[in-house]
């Protein structure tokens, strides 16, 4: 269960003068008029979203029979003092968030993904069911589209945006900031290149303001019927860059490869914890008799795999990304084509001079810089022995 933390609700009484909870901003929330969720669930939603912003929360969970819960720097914290959520409030909030198309999708699938804007901020929302009750999870997106420099991402990411074709996969678990990293890379192109960019998303997360680039942003269920068909028809719309929300099935991957083969740069996400696992997952989407061909196509058309994790800082006041970076070259091509993926790690280690990076090496560097604890580095490593050796060379006892 989530850890309880007293994030004081905004009521007509002055906010308590006790210290701010761990991970929250140093300023106490300002008092506001009392909001009755049963009487006005929409104002209650506005109030909860305001709480997210004030406490630097990434997500909010609205679950039947529980107080609203914020995720603050990786930890789930209940807002104690607020009433537990009931069906009336949850149903009203869900109905307010969903368009007619969203409602139809929800009725069919008992789940809906959507993007909403409120008071100048944008949220990615999932509405689903648990124990026969509605559950709502909302993620607060960046106030504006971030840049690579603002997010302090590796400079090799800028070089990748200069590519004219190929597929760039950004991998990692849910909540690791994959969409934000992709948005930063797209924004780099927007600031520097006169390109035609198409985004195909479910839902649209970041709204891009055209600078040098021309944008078309398409949302599943509103602008397109399926991801696969949108990617197929994108060829006829003469794009230079296609941002595709997530590789979910073999047809989507085939279309991504086809776009790369015809001279387009494709950026997309996949859920995996390492570069090697990403390639295995991609190839295993296909029947055994098709896998040799897919290996060849991936070896020729993959530009890079970026694995990202978001880790709580050592001081508890923020999150920092850790990366594994696989760049395609002749050695990587041969490893994929010959199905010797167990050699990927060695290839990455010996090609660090061109920008490749093992996750474990980056974790050890972040710990040595004091950005994360050695314990956090160990907990997030795929190869614990490797990160332990790296930490010990930096005088950590683990």
Return the HEC string of the chain. Answer: CCEEEECCCCCCCCCCCCCCCCCCCCCCCCCCCCCCCCCCHHHHHHHHHHHHHHCCEEEEEEECCCCCEEEECCEEEEECCCCCCCHHHHHHHHHHHCCHHHHHHHHHHCCEEEEEEECCEEEEEEEEEECCEEEEEEEECCCCCCCCCCCCCCCHHHHHHCCCCEEEEEECCCCCCHHHHHHHHHHHHHHHCCCEEEEEECCCCCCCCCCCCEEEEEEECCCECCHHHHHHHHHHHCCCEEEECCCCCHHHHHHHHHHHHCCCEEEEEECCCCHHHHHHHHHHCCCHHHHHHHHHHHHHHEEEEEEEEEEECCCCCCEEEEEEEEECCHHHHHHHHCCCHHHHHHHHHHCHHHCCECHHHHHHHHHHCCCCCHHHHHHCCCCHHHHHHHHHHCCCCC
Helix axes 330-337, 291-301, angle to 10 degrees: 170
* 206 lies in some domain: yes
Please check whether residues 98 and 181 belong to one and the same domain: no
For the chain, percent of residues with pLDDT exceeding 90: 77
**Domain final residue pick, 322, 339, 357:** 357
Please check whether residues 130 and 262 belong to one and the same domain: no
Question: Is pLDDT above 80 for 19?
Answer: no
- pLDDT at position 3 is 44
pLDDT, tens only, 236-272: 899 999 999 888 889 889 989 999 999 999 999 999 9
* 25 lies in some domain: yes
- pLDDT at position 297 is 97
pLDDT, tens only, 179-231: 999 999 999 999 999 999 999 998 899 999 999 999 999 998 889 888 878 88
pLDDT band at 284 (very low <50, low <70, confident <90, very high): very high
What the block records as the tokens of 91 is 């149903």
* 121 lies in some domain: yes
Please check whether residues 173 and 127 belong to one and the same domain: no
Please check whether residues 196 and 331 belong to one and the same domain: yes
* 362 lies in some domain: no
- pLDDT at position 193 is 97
Q: Is 102 exposed, middle or buried (0-12, 13-18, 19+ CB in 10 A)?
A: buried
pTM of the model: 0.85
pLDDT, tens only, 317-330: 899 999 999 999 99
Please check whether residues 162 and 126 belong to one and the same domain: no
pLDDT, tens only, 89-108: 999 999 999 999 899 989 99
N- to C-terminal Cα separation, the chain: 29
| Summary mean pLDDT of the chain | 89
| Residue range 6-30: mean pLDDT, rounded | 35
> CA-based angle 388:390:395, to the nearest 5?
90
Please check whether residues 129 and 161 belong to one and the same domain: no
Domain residues for the domain of 99 are: 3-140
Please check whether residues 330 and 206 belong to one and the same domain: yes
Domain count, the chain: 2
* 119 lies in some domain: yes
Name which of 31-35, 283-287, 354-358, 365-369 the model is least confident about. 31-35
| Residue range 137-152: mean pLDDT, rounded | 94
| Residue range 277-291: mean pLDDT, rounded | 96
- pLDDT at position 366 is 96
Please check whether residues 70 and 164 belong to one and the same domain: no
pLDDT band at 30 (very low <50, low <70, confident <90, very high): very low
pLDDT, tens only, 35-84: 778 778 899 999 999 999 999 999 999 999 999 999 999 999 998 888 99
* 118 lies in some domain: yes
* 396 lies in some domain: no
Please check whether residues 89 and 8 belong to one and the same domain: yes
Please check whether residues 262 and 328 belong to one and the same domain: yes
- pLDDT at position 304 is 98
Question: Is pLDDT above 70 for 22?
Answer: no
* CATH code: domain of residue 34: 3.30.450.90
b/e for 232-244, b at 16 or more Cβ within 10 A? Answer: bebeeeebbbbbb
């Amino acid at each position: 269960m989530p850890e309880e933390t007293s994030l004081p609700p905004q009521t007509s009484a002055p906010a308590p003068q006790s210290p701010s909870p761990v991970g929250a901003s140093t300023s106490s929330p300002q008092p506001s008029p009392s909001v009755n969720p049963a009487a006005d669930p929409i104002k209650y939603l506005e109030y909860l979203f305001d709480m997210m912003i004030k406490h630097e929360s990434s997500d909010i969970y609205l679950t039947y029979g529980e107080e609203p819960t914020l995720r603050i720097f990786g930890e789930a914290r209940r807002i104690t003092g607020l009433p537990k959520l009931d069906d009336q409030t949850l149903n009203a909030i869900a109905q307010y968030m969903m368009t007619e198309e969203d409602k139809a999708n929800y009725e069919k699938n008992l789940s809906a993904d959507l993007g909403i804007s409120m008071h100048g901020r944008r949220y990615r929302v999932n509405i689903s069911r648990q124990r026969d009750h509605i559950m709502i999870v909302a993620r607060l997106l960046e106030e504006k589209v971030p840049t690579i420099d603002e997010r302090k991402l590796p400079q090799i990411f800028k070089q990748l945006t200069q590519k004219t074709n190929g597929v760039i996969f950004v991998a990692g678990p849910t909540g690791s900031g994959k969409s934000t990293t992709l948005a930063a890379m797209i924004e780099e192109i927007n600031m520097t290149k006169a390109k035609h960019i198409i985004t195909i998303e479910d839902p649209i997360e970041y709204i891009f303001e055209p600078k040098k680039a021309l944008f078309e942003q398409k949302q599943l269920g509103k602008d397109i019927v399926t991801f696969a068909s949108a990617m197929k028809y994108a060829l006829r719309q003469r794009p230079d860059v296609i941002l595709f929300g997530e590789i979910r099935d073999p047809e989507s991957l085939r279309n991504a490869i086809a776009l790369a083969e015809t001279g387009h740069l494709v950026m997309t996400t996949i859920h995996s914890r390492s570069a090697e696992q990403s390639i295995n997952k991609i190839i295993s989407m296909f029947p055994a008799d098709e896998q040799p061909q897919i290996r060849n196509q991936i070896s020729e058309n993959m530009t890079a795999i970026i694995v990202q994790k978001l880790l709580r800082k050592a001081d508890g006041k923020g999150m920092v990304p850790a990366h594994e970076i696989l760049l395609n070259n002749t050695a990587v091509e041969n490893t994929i084509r010959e199905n010797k993926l167990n050699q990927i790690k060695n290839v990455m280690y010996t090609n660090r001079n061109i920008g490749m990076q093992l996750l474990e090496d980056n974790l050890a560097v972040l710990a040595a810089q004091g950005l994360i604890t050695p314990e956090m580095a160990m907990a997030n490593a795929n190869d614990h022995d490797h990160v332990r050796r790296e930490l010990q060379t930096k005088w950590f006892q683990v």
